[in-house]
Structure 1
Amino acid sequence: MSFLIGDKMTGGYGGADILHDCTVSVERGEIAVVVGPNGAGKSTAMKAMFGMLDLRAGKVLFDGEDITDLKPQDRVLKGMGFVPQTSNVFTSMTVEENLEMGAFIRRDDIAETMDQVYGLFPILHEKRLQPAGELSGGQRQQVAVGRALMTKPKVLMLDEPTAGVSPIVMDELFDRIIEVARTGIAILMVEQNAKQALNIADKGFVLVQGENRYTDTGSALMANPNVRKAFLGG
């Protein structure tokens, strides 16, 4: 059984299903990437696994426990961290205050985790007293990821972490994501930059219209001629 799995998920918003028997999973220390065309249900799958969407069928299991009916805040307490694509920082708060907000569930000393986040993202230490709203898009994404890491999650879910950033910043973010996975944290990520994401992925899921079209290792999907032609630009 996978460490985190959304198993045969069916559901959507209102009366329309967006996910159809969709399965997404990730193991400890692994990077799993969900890719596919716009409207494929990638972000919806992530929201369903985080409890932001009720399922009509299927279930979500985390570390062997059925969490299908848990609210998002209860999933955070279990060890799930989620970074949405937009509106993911408190713009009027400083960088350091944003990170402290991430530790709201903690009752222990957060200083060591704060140092680890600053070690991962040195620019955040440099700008720690600056309002997050004054940062570049890439720096805001680092704040958002750092804030999620402050909860000491067992799994980190990222929805389009490189949206709107330059290729250089994207490469840097991916490098940091690899570092996080090496600490044993499971990384589940939705990405529009499919080729770059699959390059760092241990496992990939290609969704089309809310269904699994291909599931394989990142390298196997990169080598699959059908995947390359349809989703990776040839």
Structure 2
Amino acid sequence: MSEPFLIGDTMTGGYGKGPDILHGCTIAVEKGEIAVIVGPNGAGKSTAMKAVFGMLNVHSGSVRLDGEDITALSPQDRVIKGMGFVPQVRNIFGSMTVEENLEMGAFIRNDDIKQTMEQVYELFPILRDKRNQAAGELSGGQRQQVAVGRALMTQPKVLMLDEPTAGVSPIVMDELFDRIIEVARTGIPILMVEQNARQALEIADKAYVLVQGTNAHTGTGKELLANPEVRASFLGG
């Protein structure tokens, strides 16, 4: 069997010299897939995502992208290798216009970015309408669209989203999930941490439930939605 396009394999690690938060945790995503990480607060979901992106110390285990071991690379070098990462907070330049934010996303590129920008505007039409407006003046959902669009401007091989629907209304959440599905259909694998577990599992090709930094359940989104233990523990029955 060939291995997944992106895998954080049996990762153990934490922040700085602090205690380990992850304990043999494995998360992976294939091309064109949406993989989601869910679990209770403090389970290590965002920590696992940051470990894959190189933002904390992985003391054992490895991270591999398209067969290449990238465990020792900095986050900046991982972006160059093709990882797009959208953090939960502080993910836009509020004083810059929408279009300037998108241009900033293309900082690693030396080619013409017009076509990619057009693709982002087709995916998020509201951003075209507001392209000359300061990003900080937008609604929460629109700011998230800017953040995802900016990550797409790097032409990533994989897109990582840390709680993309945090703090937005249910209607905006549904819209964001629709756009995320559209991105995945272009072939870009998506690895996503999400608090709205039930809704995330409904769109997930693959899903991981983390508890205390370790894998508690793994399966397809449908399998975990149907799992009585997962339902009772994490989905309210």
1:53-91 Cα distance to aligned partner (Å, 9 max, x none): 111110000000000000001000110000000000000
Give the 4+ runs in structure 1 shifted more than 6 A.
none
Structure 1 residue 190, shift from structure 2 partner: 0.0
Other-structure match for 2:28: 25
Alignment of 1:5-24 (within 5 A): 5-13=7-15, 14-24=17-27
1:167-200 Cα distance to aligned partner (Å, 9 max, x none): 0000000000000000000000000000000000
Other-structure match for 1:117: 120
Q: What are the ranges of 5 or more consecutive residues in structure 1 without an aligned counterpart?
A: none
Other-structure match for 2:61: 58
Counterpart-to-counterpart distance in 2, 1:56 and 1:174: 34
Other-structure match for 1:2: 4
1:81-123 Cα distance to aligned partner (Å, 9 max, x none): 0000000000000000000000001111100100000000000
Letter aligned with residue 202 of structure 2: N
Structure 1 residue 49, shift from structure 2 partner: 0.3
> Helix, strand or coil: the match of 2:21?
strand
Alignment of 1:210-221 (within 5 A): 210-221=213-224
> Helix, strand or coil: the match of 1:228?
helix
Count of equivalent residues: 234
Other-structure match for 1:130: 133
Other-structure match for 2:71: 68
Alignment of 1:89-100 (within 5 A): 89-100=92-103
Other-structure match for 1:85: 88
Counterpart-to-counterpart distance in 2, 1:211 and 1:58: 13
> Helix, strand or coil: the match of 1:17?
coil
Q: What are the ranges of 5 or more consecutive residues in structure 2 without an aligned counterpart?
A: none
TM-score by length of 1: 0.99
Letter aligned with residue 93 of structure 1: M
Counterpart-to-counterpart distance in 1, 2:125 and 2:41: 33
Letter aligned with residue 214 of structure 1: H
Structure 1 residue 15, shift from structure 2 partner: 2.7
% identical equivalent positions: 79
> Helix, strand or coil: the match of 1:198?
helix
Give the root-mean-square deviation of aligned CA atoms.
0.4
Letter aligned with residue 21 of structure 1: G
